[in-house]
């Protein structure tokens, strides 16, 4: 395929930047690291229409302490990465289809050998882990970012796969997690786990899903867990035919499974609704007999690189997300649910976050990147990138349907944010919103820090990298109390 050029061309190097340039002042209370995982093609893909989710994993972090910042970036050195590096070429085919790999590298029953680990990060029980939902986690050294290898929670985690979006109960330290396609390719098995604060499995449930689907994110309440199954589908026939792992089947309904947090297979209840994509969630809560989920959701296929089963052309209008509230009544005698749009007139880029202290409980605010077309874009300086710009972070009031926003600048595009409370007992949403902005005019990346008390005032600090950083999928802030960064 042709070489990839421009701002989004592969970076293909590891990096250390000591004592980064800082514009403004880093809040003195911030001590920890913003750890990011993303992807890059170390070797070009075998298929020009492959999904970007198939790129090699790259972990990076902005280490902040004493008002100063440093940066480190490393490849996640999975067996797949090392095999390609040794061969000097791409050995692996379409996204999550081992049948399309070169002979000798298919590993049909060993997904951890095919993974690229490029999606999310987790700190729990003193370990830093990188996640991708086609494998168990890989542990990473929090000081050097060296890849340490697969982690199975002291042998107690039996699913072949692990979600990219586990949830941590901040009161108990428990980790809630699951794996879909848990027993192998295209299997309808879903394994759900509760892992104690020490990293050992304390509860396992083995479930069946209505149909095999991408279950990328989910939600939990104080008493329930919520599994969204939506029309990205796969099958062994599709994979053996050498095709990409997911296709969009608009004839499938959205199915939402709800189960008590410590339930059993007989306790799960499935609700049915219109075809929507729920890729990431904000939060959920249980109120009496009702479970309430708040989430960005798409009216159709959000990703043009996953084709439709009927061959239809990708529809960008249906590929927009709206912030919706979904209410499920466990006391009802039917399988329907109620939907409402919380912020009318605004379609939101995915990647919603909350103040994590409120996970599973009633909360007011959600944070997400979005494109504000009322803000200026300087095409003369930024180049022909207008269609790839997410220029604002929104702080959305899910009670009132209003929002405040941070604007990154006329030549910038933002990646997923994270929220840091101002103090452990600060009111919900009072703190700092952080994330990485790509500066197209300067061909570099910058970590931005904004004060939620006055987002419109702009960044209180920008940590400047002297180069463009890899595309981020997900990033999380971890304090020095959560993990030992050295």
Helix (H) or strand (E) holding 238: helix 236-240
Q: How many H-runs (helices) and E-runs (strands) does the chain carry?
A: 3, 32
pLDDT band at 387, cuts 50/70/90? low
What's the average model confidence in pLDDT over 95-115?
A: 95
Q: For residue range 201-219, list pLDDT tens digits in order.
A: 999 999 999 999 999 999 9
Percent helix / strand / coil, the chain, rounded to 5: 10, 40, 55
Q: Please report the pLDDT score of residue 397 as a whole number.
A: 94
Percentage of the chain beyond pLDDT 70 is 98
Token digits of residue 441: 């005019």
pLDDT above 70 (res 339): yes
| pLDDT score of 344 | 78
Examine the pLDDT at 373 and tell me if it is beyond 50.
yes
pLDDT at 1: 40
Averaged pLDDT of the chain = 95
pLDDT digits (tens, 9 = 90+) for 163-173: 999 999 999 99
- Tally of CB atoms within 10 A around 260: 16
Q: Report the run of H or E that residue 87 belongs to, with start and end.
A: helix 79-87
Question: Which whole number is the average pLDDT over 136-156?
Answer: 97
Segments making up each domain of the chain, as ranges: 163-342
**Which pLDDT does position 9 carry in this prediction?**
85
Q: Cα(57)–Cα(206) distance, rounded to whole angstroms?
A: 29
The model's pLDDT over 453-471, given as tens digits with 9 standing for 90+, comes to 999 999 999 999 999 998 8
**SS3 for 286-307, per residue?**
EECCEEEEEEEEECCCCCCCCC
pLDDT score recorded for residue 232: 97
Query: How many Å apart are CA 437 and CA 57, to the nearest integer?
Result: 19
Q: What are phi and psi of 386, to 5 degrees?
A: -55, -35
Query: What pLDDT is stored for residue 386 in this prediction?
Result: 56
> Phi/psi of residue 388, each to 5°?
-120, 35
Can you give the pTM of this predicted structure? 0.95
CA–CA separation, 397 and 452 (whole Å): 12
> From CA 325, how far away is CA 284, in angstroms rounded?
9
Mean pLDDT for 411-416 is: 95
Under a CB-based contact definition with an 8 Å cutoff, are residues 206 and 228 in contact?
no
């Amino acid at each position: 395929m042709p070489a990839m050029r421009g701002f989004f061309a592969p970076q293909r190097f590891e990096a250390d930047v000591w004592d980064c340039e800082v514009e403004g002042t880093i809040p003195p209370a911030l001590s920890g690291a913003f750890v990011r995982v993303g992807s890059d093609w170390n070797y070009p893909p075998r298929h020009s229409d492959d999904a970007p989710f198939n790129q090699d994993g790259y972990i990076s972090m902005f280490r902040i302490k004493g008002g100063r910042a440093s940066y480190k970036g490393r490849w996640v050195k999975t067996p797949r990465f090392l095999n390609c590096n040794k061969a000097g070429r791409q050995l692996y085919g379409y996204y999550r289809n081992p049948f399309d790999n070169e002979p000798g590298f298919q590993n049909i029953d060993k997904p951890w050998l095919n993974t690229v680990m490029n999606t999310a990060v987790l700190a729990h029980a003193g370990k830093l882990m990188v996640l991708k939902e086609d494998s168990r986690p890989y542990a990473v050294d929090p000081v050097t970012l060296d890849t340490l290898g697969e982690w199975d929670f002291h042998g107690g985690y039996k699913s072949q796969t692990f979600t990219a979006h586990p949830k941590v109960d901040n009161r108990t330290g428990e980790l809630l997690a699951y794996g879909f396609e848990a027993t192998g390719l295209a299997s309808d098995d879903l394994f759900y786990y509760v892992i104690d604060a020490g990293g050992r499995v304390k509860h396992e449930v083995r479930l069946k899903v209505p149909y095999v689907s991408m279950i990328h994110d989910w939600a939990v309440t104080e008493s329930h867990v919520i599994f969204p199954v939506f029309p990205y589908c796969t099958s062994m026939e599709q994979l053996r035919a050498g095709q990409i792992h997911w296709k969009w089947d608009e004839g499938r309904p959205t199915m939402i499974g709800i189960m008590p947090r410590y339930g059993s297979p007989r306790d799960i209840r499935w609700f049915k609704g219109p075809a929507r994509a729920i890729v990431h969630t904000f939060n959920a809560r249980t109120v009496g007999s009702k479970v309430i989920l708040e989430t960005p959701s798409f009216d159709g296929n959000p990703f043009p690189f996953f084709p439709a089963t009927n061959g239809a052309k990708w529809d960008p209008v249906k590929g927009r997300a709206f912030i919706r509230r979904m209410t499920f009544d466990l006391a009802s005698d039917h399988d329907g649910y109620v939907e409402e749009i919380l912020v009318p007139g605004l379609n939101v880029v995915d990647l919603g976050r909350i103040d994590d202290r409120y996970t599973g409980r009633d909360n007011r605010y959600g944070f997400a990147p979005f494109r504000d077309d009322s803000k200026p874009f300087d095409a003369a300086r930024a180049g022909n990138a207008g269609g790839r710009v997410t220029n604002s972070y929104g702080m959305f009031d899910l009670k009132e349907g209003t929002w405040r926003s941070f604007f990154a600048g006329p030549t910038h595009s933002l990646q997923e944010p994270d929220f840091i409370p101002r103090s452990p007992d600060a009111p919900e949403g009072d703190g700092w919103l952080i994330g990485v902005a790509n500066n197209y005019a300067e061909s570099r990346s910058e970590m931005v820090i904004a004060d939620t008390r006055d987002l419109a005032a702009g960044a209180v600090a920008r940590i400047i990298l002297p180069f463009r950083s890899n595309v981020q999928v997900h990033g999380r802030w971890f304090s020095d109390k959560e993990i030992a960064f050295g």
